[in-house]
Structure 1
Amino acid sequence: MLNILSILIGLVALPFTLVGIIPFPLIPMFNWVALPIAVVGTVVGMMSRSNAGRNFNLVLLVVSGLRVMLTGGLI
């Protein structure tokens, strides 16, 4: 049950991550919204027995985190 909840939380963060990848001014700020959502999904996924939800949210965290890091946290 927690794995399904983790995947659902990740699906909420996914559009923010995908839109945040676009290199257009101020759109990458969506990654700042995706990061805390993906962290919550990762924590919920850690409490479940399966790894799918946790891994999905970890991928979202890495993609959003790298985008924020590469742009200096601003754009």
Structure 2
Amino acid sequence: MLNILSILTGLVALIFVIPGVVPLLGWLNWLALPIAIVGLIIGMLSSKNTGRNINLVLIVIAIVRGSILGGVL
């Protein structure tokens, strides 16, 4: 059950990360980051790794894209 909740949390974060890759919408990555971290914590409590891995990938994408030009652009 926690794995499904972690996957759903990751999908919500993905809704913010995808448009955050577009120039001038980089600030969306900073909104997605806390959501993905909560999903990561939930995924770590689960016995399966799928939700945790999805949120780890989203966190890496959000940090890399958010750090480019300070996350403003």
Say whether the fold is shared (TM-score over 0.5): yes
**Structure 2 stretches lacking a partner, 5+ long:** none
**Correspondence list, 1:1-75, <5 A:** 1-23=1-23, 25=24, 27-75=25-73
Distance in 2 of aligned mates of 1:71 and 1:31: 13
1:15 to partner: Cα distance: 1.2
Residues 39 and 52 of structure 2 are in contact (CA less than 8 Å); yes or no, is this contact kept in structure 1? yes
TM-score (norm 2): 0.94
Q: Number of aligned residue pairs: give it.
A: 73
TM-score (norm 1): 0.92
1:73 to partner: Cα distance: 3.2
Runs of 4 or more consecutive aligned structure 1 residues displaced over 4 Å after TM superposition: none
1:40 to partner: Cα distance: 0.1
RMSD between aligned residues: 0.9
Identity across aligned pairs (percent)? 55
